[in-house]
Structure 1
Amino acid sequence: MTVAYSFLLFIVLGIFLFCYFVATRVWIKVDQQNKQSSSEKDKPSRRDFLYLSSISIGSVGTAAFMWPFLKSMNPAEDTLALG
Structure 2
Amino acid sequence: MATDGPNEELYPVVYRAVNDALWNVVGTVALSLVLVAVFFVGLSVFLSSVTTMGSSLSVLGIVLGTAIAVAAALGFALLFDLLPWS
TM-score by structure 2 length? 0.46
Higher radius of gyration, 1 or 2 = 2
Bigger relative CO (Cα 8 Å, ≥ 6 apart)? 1
